Copies of this chain bind each other. A is one copy, B any other.
Amino acid sequence: MNILIVHAHPESKSFSGALRDTAADFFKSSNCNVAISDLYSMNFNPVGSPRDLKETSTVEYFDYQKEQLYGIKNNLLTDEIKNEMAKFLKADLIIYNFPLWWFSVPAIMKGWFDRVFAMGFAYGPGKGVYSTGTFRNKTSFLCITTGGAEFSYKESGVNGDINKILFHVNHGMLNFVGMKVLPPFVVYGPSTFTEEEKKSKLIEYRNYLSKLNNIKPLFY
């Protein structure tokens, strides 16, 4: 199995970083190949723009999707994007590992989707979406840390159901391109954890990882 962990946290020693390391160690010790895209340490540029290409087809009007298609057809995407596409293509399982910021992924990870899931690569002419999506042979899930407590992310909680919040990512980004999407592994409020609680949560995560094949995917 080939694993890709796309990680986005400005502090490598954060609990999100510990979850990244736990997954990497678990899969390495299971004889899998593990690649990590640590977006902050890569200084990944999240801004989709003409600079995605070495040269655009025109300078008159920037039509992002048309230029993405043109860039793929003519091998003009920048190496930063091509490298991420290659890592993604090789992976059977992709874990998106991040702190929940404003009910979504940090901007640096949003830009990963904007730029790497280009038209012509992840969807577009000749490619389906959802159940006929391009990446039906891949599985993915979100591994998240939150600031707020678990009760605030229930349907009756002040923030609303965590799955409702994550719909735009699970459905709109991961499932859109055909991937099987497993339920997110969510760690609520790790900043309040004792060392014991941290250790116990990482063990829980290893257990989750060891049972991935038996976990029912989300459906919409």
Residues of chain B within 8 A (CB-CB) of A101 are 48, 113-114
**A173 in contact with B130 (CB, 8 Å):** no
Taken together as a complex, chains A and B put the C-alpha atoms of A172 and B100 apart, in Å, by 11
Taken together as a complex, chains A and B put the C-alpha atoms of A104 and B68 apart, in Å, by 19
Residues of chain B within 8 A (CB-CB) of A166 are 168
> Are A107 and B171 CB-contacts (below 8 A) given A61-B11, A65-B147?
no
Taken together as a complex, chains A and B put the C-alpha atoms of A64 and B168 apart, in Å, by 24
Q: A residues touching B (Cβ–Cβ < 8 Å)?
A: 10-11, 13, 40, 46-50, 61-65, 101-108, 110-111, 113-114, 117, 129-130, 147, 158-160, 164-169, 171-173, 176, 191, 220
Taken together as a complex, chains A and B put the C-alpha atoms of A62 and B14 apart, in Å, by 8
Interchain nearest-CB distance for A146 vs B (Å): 12
Taken together as a complex, chains A and B put the C-alpha atoms of A147 and B171 apart, in Å, by 17
Of chain B, the residue at the smallest CB distance from A39 is B47
